[in-house]
A and B are shown apart, each in its own frame.
Chain A
């Protein structure tokens, strides 16, 4: 399918790279291809570019440049925080607290720590995907060493009150590192290390129109998780390996663009979401919108169409050039699947749920295509499935 013929409404899965970020990637692959560790001019130029990328990220996140650790993506950033902090803080305790809707990068890392004698408490989310700071507080213990909560839920878009949670963690588990997975929030809502009071924040480039395979863990001053990779000591010895400068430069550019355009994009996305919501509501009064309308990123709309197999709807939409994703547990191949169940949604409803998600390149025309296609398909599939 060619780019212009599809209405891509699956930006929470990944995004199209912004041409300006792609140009950076290309420049550092073809022209400024030096190794930042080399001492000749090409290497020195690469080191300078790396420093600038780090400063850009630090500005975007209101953090110190020294706290920015570039990784291979959101997964590695989450792993580095959860595993790394648990290992450096283990002498203070072996207890972790994680949200029920966390990405597998966090949940599986916590599970793996079971082998090392760690115990994990899972904080439930409500139907709208909300995590209650009081519930986090009551899960915390004096021997809790890592607390991880995602800022924006990737299925529902619901935003967690992270600074409130940070305060709760500080009082209940003063030694714990508080990690925030902001992969889905960054670029769609203000994300600030200083304002959240977190110890670390995970980011991923491909969710913000940057290249895939690069991300960052942004650390508060003085915080150092144990590294996962051992080698040449790059990234302040927290992430050895020759730096992926093309990816990092593309990521930095994409991050700067995302932050610059945020103020203008948020109202545009709100209008798109309203347009979609209203269009669907007019034709399908029995559709249910999931999530928390008060506090969520404006780029995600999760809708349940009772009695409609979500996967069949997805493929029928794909045949009309509209690309979305399902919340279904067993059939969408990976990721996201457990999230709606963890929010207490019934399996039946999960199977009938579709997620529409927007990005920089989503237009009104894309939304209108979805609005035009969905109602007839819902009626058809409902009749067939009855």
Chain B
């Protein structure tokens, strides 16, 4: 896979992955997924070849490696990335490069007079005349002699000189930047995120992606109470989040009729809880059809009235799939800090009304009761309203920097058969995962 023998000075990126290595029998699957995700992520910054070695991946960008490196640092599953220099597999050539790289690394930490340090060589090419330990020892001695600030510390090095010896050549590196960690997107299966224009739900979606979930999105749109700008805002959020998982599907379910009906027939205090139950119903229908294993929300316990434990239970009771809530224990400022880091914050704070604020009660119920919800719902033809919303649901396939693809509702949700409550698993089985594919039904 590597290029010739003497592309000296040519840089490659050594990518270490976090928990992928821990997953025993699934390891090859995880590595394959990570490699595909890296390739997809790199497509936006330019062509690159890839290779595997010793529990790490090697990436060879054709152009400047800096943008590739920045991009790799956003891919889940990546623990860290090191820019490496390619040399001939000859200690006489490896040594001067090692001296240069360590010298540069030390010049970036002027204040520290003792830098704990180790050499870490791997030898994929068994024909290489020296064993890894010998390489470690030889290079260690050379570097210690040249830089008196270095102090060997095999346990907790803050500077590691790495050497990968492969068939065609060797790669030497001294620098390392952290990646986001987590699991490669796709290995954990699909979830359906209920996304509003707010700050929380995009962060929850990002956290689910971090644990290897592919996230599909569903938003509720109460036209004509709410304008097109709100929908565009949610699309911008999904577009931004697609950066972390590739092209993403957004379902837009009409919600005005349901809200109006709830507004007319329910006690004012229960409105918000009832909206959320209806959202969960619609969400579960779409989730099953698209093989999602759970719903995902941005709830944080007690943040607003609809997020007390009682009210979360009321909402969840209407769902027949698990509801994942990665922000349960987050404070608002922690969520905001993450939103800023992933670039959704500036979009979330754009003023645009969201449907949850429509007919908002002045005194919402704090400890809602499931029975009370059920008895109101018995008065409403909720099944019909849910079907109508599903039937005119819009779907978009969104990616950063690409034009939207709009799918007509008919191609997504052909006359919906009732979900089969006996056998949810049959549809929600293997997490096969073509990004943005539109499997319809079972």
Which residues of A are at the interface with B, using a C-beta cutoff of 8 A? 309, 311-312, 314-316, 318-319, 330-331, 333, 384-385
Contacts and interface: CB of A to CB of B under 8 A. Distances in A.
Contacts, number: 33
Interface string B195-237: 0000000000000000000000000000111110100000000
The 8 closest A-B pairs by CB, nearest first: A319-B224, A315-B224, A316-B224, A312-B225, A315-B227, A331-B353, A330-B351, A384-B263
B44 interface: no
9 contacts: A311-B353, A312-B225, A315-B223, A316-B224, A316-B225, A319-B223, A333-B229, A333-B350, A333-B351
B296 to A, nearest CB: 27
Contacts of A314: 227
B136 to A, nearest CB: 57
Interface string B124-147: 000000000000000000000000
B359 interface: yes
A196 B225 CA distance: 44
A315 B226 contact: yes
Nearest to A314: B227
B196 to A, nearest CB: 15
Q: Chain A CB within 10 Å — which of B226, B227, B260 has the most?
A: B227
Which secondary structure dominates where chain B touches chain A? Answer: loop
A316 to B, nearest CB: 5
A331 B223 CA distance: 15
Contacts of B350: 333
A81 B225 CA distance: 41
B352 interface: yes
Contacts of A333: 229, 350-352
Interface string B326-352: 000000000000000000000000111
Contacts of A316: 224-225
A311 B359 contact: no
Interface in B17-43: none
A331 B264 CA distance: 25
A309 to B, nearest CB: 8
B360 to A, nearest CB: 10
B260 A384 contact: yes
B359 A385 contact: yes
A314 B352 CA distance: 13
Interface string B225-257: 111010000000000000000000000000000
Q: Chain B CB within 10 Å — which of A311, A312, A333, A385 has the most?
A: A312
A384 B359 contact: yes
A13 to B, nearest CB: 14
Given A333-B229, A385-B359, 7 more contacts: A311-B227, A314-B227, A315-B225, A315-B226, A333-B351, A333-B352, A384-B264
A83 B294 CA distance: 56
Nearest to A332: B351
A318 B224 contact: yes
Nearest to B226: A315
Contacts of A330: 351
B234 to A, nearest CB: 15
Nearest to B263: A384
Contacts of A309: 225
Contacts of B224: 312, 315-316, 318-319
A318 B227 contact: yes
Contacts of B351: 330-331, 333
Nearest to B353: A331
A268 B249 CA distance: 50
A315 B256 CA distance: 12
Contacts of A311: 226-227, 353
Contacts of A318: 224, 227
Q: Chain B CB within 10 Å — which of A315, A316, A318, A333 has the most?
A: A315
Contacts of A385: 359
Nearest to A330: B351
A385 B263 CA distance: 9
Q: Chain A CB within 10 Å — which of B223, B225, B229, B359 has the most?
A: B225
A315 B225 CA distance: 6
A378 to B, nearest CB: 14
Interface string B157-179: 00000000000000000000000
Nearest to A319: B224
Nearest to A316: B224
Contacts of B227: 311, 314-315, 318
A39 B359 CA distance: 66
A318 B227 CA distance: 9
Interface string B47-75: 00000000000000000000000000000
B352 A331 contact: yes
A316 B222 CA distance: 11
A311 B229 CA distance: 12
A309 B360 CA distance: 12
A315 B228 CA distance: 9
A32 B227 CA distance: 42
Contacts of A312: 224-226, 358
A37 B76 CA distance: 55
A27 B240 CA distance: 40
B233 to A, nearest CB: 10
Contacts of B263: 384
B268 to A, nearest CB: 10
Contacts of B352: 331, 333
Interface in B256-275: 260, 263-264
A318 B224 CA distance: 8
A330 B227 CA distance: 14
Nearest to B351: A330
Nearest to A312: B225
A232 to B, nearest CB: 34
A344 to B, nearest CB: 22
Interface in B341-384: 350-353, 358-359
Contacts of B223: 315, 319
B380 to A, nearest CB: 16
B370 to A, nearest CB: 26
B261 to A, nearest CB: 11
A330 B351 CA distance: 6
A385 B357 CA distance: 12
B271 to A, nearest CB: 11
A30 B229 CA distance: 35
A370 to B, nearest CB: 15
B197 to A, nearest CB: 12
Contacts of B225: 309, 312, 315-316
Nearest to A384: B263
Q: Chain A CB within 10 Å — which of B224, B264, B358 has the most?
A: B224
A187 to B, nearest CB: 28
A319 B256 CA distance: 13
A339 B351 CA distance: 17
A312 B264 CA distance: 17
A334 B350 CA distance: 10
A106 to B, nearest CB: 22
A309 B357 CA distance: 12
B235 to A, nearest CB: 15
